[in-house]
Amino acid sequence: MLLERILKERQAKWEADLRAKGKDPGKVKYVEAAVPNVEGLPELPEGWCWATVEQVCERIVDCLHSTANFKDSGLICIDTNCIKPGRIIYEKVRYVDEATFIDRNRRMKPQMNDVIFSREGALLGVAVRVPANLEFCLGQRMMVFRLDLGIDAKYYESVINSSVFRSQYLSEITGSASPHLNIEDIRTFAIPLPSLLEQEIIVTEVERRMSIIDELEIVILANLKRAERLRQSILREAFAGRLVPQDPSDEPASVLLERIRGERGSGEQKNGAGASKSYKGRAVKVPEPGMVVGRADTLLVGCWP
């Protein structure tokens, strides 16, 4: 099984590193990676298993907990403002000088097929595989996973962006002003792990379907723009009187408005007993002499049709 091979090779490398330093591995305790808690997780296909993030990563590194000193130009710094699931928005990347770049990479410099992850802020939970030929440092609120050779980076990215992974960390998010995940909790979250061949097949199918979604988005945006242009055109035609055929015998709007104003003015001049009186634009019945007006009648003045 893939996971067993990964763990055996990792321990063998650990032992070899100790021997290279002149130490006896038998006298140093090897710390095993945390095993997954599969309670509540779905059943997996035959040959798959659940593995923790820590089990499939060679290294897990958090960013520096400080805001980078950004410049107008320089070296690329990637933070939560310029990423979407599986994608870097290059138009939104910011820049730092060389000294800041070196300082922010002192723990580990991201490289191709690492996966970066936003673990804090409004855009918490976004994973992106690092493409080839991109040198950058991490901004605030980010972390980076360096995967074992048996893990396809694009597959890992897809899993981290999935609802299966998200469902595990939603209850672990802390902080109201700036929601965040603790890196020690992230190490223990579980991912479904098939063989490397199956990972590659899944990635191919995911990318095929995502390309269809991208094409649909383009079509939808084009149709929305077309609909807005059509709406504006209809409104222009309507206000120009060209939306429906015009009847020359119809009364012009200017004449109609003048007639309405004349009728309203004549109504306001009637103030005799029993006549109508204008009240805020409405005709109100004026009581006859000697008529008793109750409180309810008084309250209803101005409310009659």
Per residue in 271-303, pLDDT (tens digit) is 554 454 544 445 545 455 544 444 444 434 444
Mean of pLDDT values over 100-104: 96
CATH code, 33-194: 3.90.220.20
Q: Which two tokens stand for residue 274?
A: 């029993």
Whether 286 and 271 have beta carbons less than 8 Å apart is answered as yes
CB-count burial class (<10 Å; 0-12, 13-18, 19+) for 25: middle
Residue 238 pLDDT class (50, 70, 90 cuts):
confident
Q: How far apart are CA 301 and CA 279, in angstroms?
A: 9
| Top-confidence residue, 305 or 71 | 71
Q: Which amino acid, 102?
A: I
- What is the pLDDT, as a whole number, of residue 172? 92
Question: How are beta strands 87-88 and 94-96 bridged, if at all?
Answer: unpaired
Q: How far apart are CA 95 and CA 70, in angstroms?
A: 5
Q: How far apart are CA 299 and CA 304, in angstroms?
A: 10
Whether 268 and 274 have beta carbons less than 8 Å apart is answered as no
pLDDT greater than 80 at residue 244 = no
Q: How far apart are CA 215 and CA 156, in angstroms?
A: 24
Whether 138 and 63 have beta carbons less than 8 Å apart is answered as yes
Whether 152 and 168 have beta carbons less than 8 Å apart is answered as no
- pTM > 0.85: yes or no: no
Q: How far apart are CA 50 and CA 102, in angstroms?
A: 37
Q: How far apart are CA 178 and CA 155, in angstroms?
A: 29
Q: Token match 């005709």: residue?
A: 283
| Top-confidence residue, 249 or 61 | 61
Q: Which of 151, 166, 165, 167 is nearest to 202 (CA)?
A: 151
Whether 283 and 270 have beta carbons less than 8 Å apart is answered as no
Structural domain boundaries of the chain?
A: 33-194, 195-240
**CA atoms 269, 275, 279, 283: torsion sign:** negative
Angle between helices 153-160 and 196-239 (to 10 degrees): 60
CB-count burial class (<10 Å; 0-12, 13-18, 19+) for 191: buried
pLDDT greater than 60 at residue 56 = yes
Residue 125 pLDDT class (50, 70, 90 cuts):
very high
- What is the pLDDT, as a whole number, of residue 288? 53
Q: How far apart are CA 191 and CA 239, in angstroms?
A: 60
Q: Report the mean per-residue pLDDT for the chain.
A: 86
Whether 105 and 126 have beta carbons less than 8 Å apart is answered as no
